[in-house]
């Protein structure tokens, strides 16, 4: 007879061996599923649930938020333009389409390939560019020429803004200012250090690639393009980076409209950093509370945030999918639905070559 301690250890093992194998397998499967459910809740669903709860609390609070009382005034840019309503897809204008393209960044060949893929047909189709059409890529001037030839609409992105500021700085001083590592006696602008002037070397160099007509076209791109009423989406608006919900378009801060990524739920203060709630989550929650027939119902199409990539929600459409860095160039195609129904939307994209890598 084995000693007592061996009998104690062997007893549970012998009992386990008496459990049918099928039951043991079910136990392992259920335990695995339970563990997977816990991990999913902990790392996926709970953070999103917490964010949604924080957004709900923010919207329920009655406060004066950022943008409610004032907005900086800028004389060197157009805040809002309204697109010609004849370009909208409607029941009466059912052949018309809108083709809205994310950040092109000088990738003319990819833009042309995307237009070919969607079978772009002027004048039945109208092209809208969400800003950052220029810089980083190989042919910024070519992108502007193509857009102008198609009578495209556009909005000002942060890269257009920086280039135009650099150009204004150059014209204002009649000469490029020396940067921190540039010999002030050097007659050439070396363009390889960031300048302490309003622009930097890279954008001053980029500004020289455009002729006067191209510059005027870029200067005419508004910060906000009011596209118009799209069936099922309310008023559609195109911006480069984002909007603060609940603030009229006329009072939106243009810098943030061109640069924002997140928003502080306590103050509604937008930020270009990633510490905070993605602004489009607050936007969609806010719009879901607006009555469907209300004039305040609005959908927004934007670019700017290649890290999130294509980011489609009910009331927001993020289209920057990182083309210039070897990602994809994405278009949102909007066409009229059946009579009395919502407009139809689809996304189309093409693969891009790698023209730029983040250092």
Please tell me which residue, 331 or 53, carries the higher pLDDT value.
Answer: 331
Q: How many helices (H) and strands (E) does the chain have?
A: 10, 14
Domain count, the chain: 1
The answer to whether position 163 is within a domain reads yes
127, part of any domain: yes
| Angle, in degrees to the nearest 10, between helices 140-149 and 108-117 | 40
> Residue 151 falls within a domain, yes or no?
yes
Report yes or no on 29 lying in a domain. no
What share of the chain in percent tops pLDDT 70? 77
CATH code of the domain covering residue 154: 3.60.21.10
Q: Is residue 65 part of a domain?
A: no
13-55 per-position pLDDT tens digit? 556 567 677 777 777 888 888 887 767 666 666 666 556 665 5
Q: What is the pLDDT of residue 353?
A: 97
- Does residue 42 sit within a domain? no
In a 10 Å sphere around its CB, with 0-12 CB exposed, 13-18 middle and 19+ buried, how is residue 4 labelled? exposed
Q: What is the DSSP string of 38-73?
A: HHHIIIIIHHHHHHHHHHHHHHHS--PPTTSS----
Q: Which domain holds residue 109?
A: 80-173+200-351
At 255, is the pLDDT very low, low, confident or very high (cuts 50, 70, 90)?
A: very high
Q: What integer is the mean pLDDT of 274-289?
A: 93
Segment 240-248 mean pLDDT: 95
Share of the chain above pLDDT 90, in %: 60
As a whole number, the mean pLDDT across the chain is: 84
Chain centroid to Cα 86, Å, comes to 26
In a domain, 101, yes or no: yes
* Assigned token pair, 340: 């009395």
Whole-prediction pTM: 0.79
Alpha-helix runs per DSSP H in the chain: 4-17, 21-40, 46-60, 108-117, 140-149, 158-173, 201-207, 212-219, 254-259, 279-288
pLDDT digits 0-9 by tens, 115-138:
999 999 988 999 999 999 999 999
In a domain, 288, yes or no: yes
């Amino acid at each position: 007879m084995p000693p007592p301690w061996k009998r104690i250890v062997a007893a549970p093992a012998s009992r386990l061996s008496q459990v049918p194998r099928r039951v043991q397998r079910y136990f392992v499967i259920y335990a695995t599923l339970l563990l997977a459910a816990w991990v999913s809740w902990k790392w996926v669903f709970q953070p999103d649930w917490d964010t949604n709860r924080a957004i709900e609390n923010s919207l329920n609070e009655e406060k004066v938020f950022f943008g409610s009382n004032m907005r900086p005034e800028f004389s060197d840019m157009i805040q809002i333009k309204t697109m010609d309503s004849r370009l909208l897809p409607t029941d009466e204008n059912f052949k018309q389409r809108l083709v809205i393209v994310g950040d092109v960044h000088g990738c003319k060949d990819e833009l042309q390939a995307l237009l070919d893929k969607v079978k772009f047909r002027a004048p039945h189709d109208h092209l809208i560019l969400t800003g950052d059409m220029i810089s980083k890529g190989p042919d910024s001037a070519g992108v502007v020429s193509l857009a102008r030839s198609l009578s495209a609409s556009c909005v000002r992105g942060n890269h257009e803004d920086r280039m135009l500021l650099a150009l204004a700085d150059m014209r204002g001083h009649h000469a490029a200012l020396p940067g921190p590592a540039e010999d002030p006696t050097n007659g050439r602008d070396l363009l390889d250090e960031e300048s302490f002037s309003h622009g930097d070397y890279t954008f001053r160099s980029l500004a020289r690639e455009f002729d006067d007509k191209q510059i005027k076209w870029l200067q005419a791109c508004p910060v906000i393009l009011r596209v118009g009423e799209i069936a099922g989406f309310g008023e559609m608006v195109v911006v480069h980076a984002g909007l603060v919900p609940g603030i009229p378009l006329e009072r939106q801060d243009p810098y943030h409209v061109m640069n924002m990524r997140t928003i502080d739920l306590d103050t509604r203060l937008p930020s270009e950093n990633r510490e905070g709630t993605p602004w489009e989550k607050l936007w969609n929650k806010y719009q879901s509370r607006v009555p469907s027939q209300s004039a305040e119902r609005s959908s927004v199409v934007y670019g700017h945030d290649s890290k999130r990539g294509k980011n489609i929600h009910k009331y927001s459409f993020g289209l920057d999918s990182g083309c210039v860095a070897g990602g994809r160039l994405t278009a949102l195609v909007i066409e009229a639905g059946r009579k009395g129904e919502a407009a139809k939307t689809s996304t189309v994209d093409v693969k891009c070559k790698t023209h730029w890598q983040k250092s």
